Amino acid sequence: MLQAIQLTKKYQQHTALDHLNLEVAKGEIFCLLGQNGAGKTTTINLFLGFTAATSGQAFVNGLEVKPGAADTRKFIAYIPEVVQLYGNLTGVENLDFFCRLAGFRYPADMLKGFLQKAGLQPDAHARRLSGYSKGMRQKVGIAIALAKNAEVIFMDEPTSGLDPRSTQEFADIARQLGSEGKTILMATHDIFNAVNVGTTIGIMNKGVLVHTLATAGITAGELQQLYLETI
């Protein structure tokens, strides 16, 4: 579903991403692990078409990503570290608004169904977003991705600032999405979350993907040791 071939991004003399080669299959949850400036967010932005590559190519579902192009956008959804929603609208109203922007119209019961599948408790559906926690906002973002029927979901530090219970709820939802065939590319600092959620982990340092490994064959302690040795 995702492929990068020698993908490179430079800002004048600074190389933010250095000849990345990457493949992410359908249903895979690929966690990019690294410090600030490692190239994780740059990778996601290039796949989203938010910025143009200096060289190399990025593909979504076999289609090359080009800045501003709509042909790949229909396959994807993006959940940033801070989900930008409207505080004066309810959860259902926010979901309805963003669905309509994407060309989807759903009756109220289906909208509530997406929110519930994303883990948002029913008593919050009709409450204004201004009273939501960060974890609840993340769930609305996931509901938007579900309603858009996105095949690929990009997540940038989705568990940053979440309490342990909300982090575990997020992990459960992400794994469920993967089991349903959704492809997830996630940037994270959280070693435990990467092992808990991901099927594959890539460790990045200074724009280079240094290691790629399956989570089935490594513990959080072993990953931490490898991570510390890498950075």
**Given this structure, which CATH class describes domain 2-230?**
alpha beta
- Provide the strand spans (E) within the chain: 2-11, 14-24, 29-33, 55-60, 63-64, 76-79, 152-156, 183-188, 200-205, 208-214
Nearest to residue 113, comparing CAs of 127, 125, 99? 125
Partnered with residue 213 across adjacent β-strands are 201
pLDDT digits (tens, 9 = 90+) for 58-107: 999 999 998 776 789 889 999 988 888 999 999 999 999 999 988 899 99
* Region for 6 from its dihedrals, namely left if φ exceeds 0, alpha if ψ lies in -120 to 50, beta otherwise: left
User: What percentage of the chain carries pLDDT values higher than 70?
Assistant: 100
pLDDT of residue 69: 65
Average per-residue pLDDT for the chain: 93
Instruction: Answer yes or no: is pLDDT of 130 > 80.
Output: yes
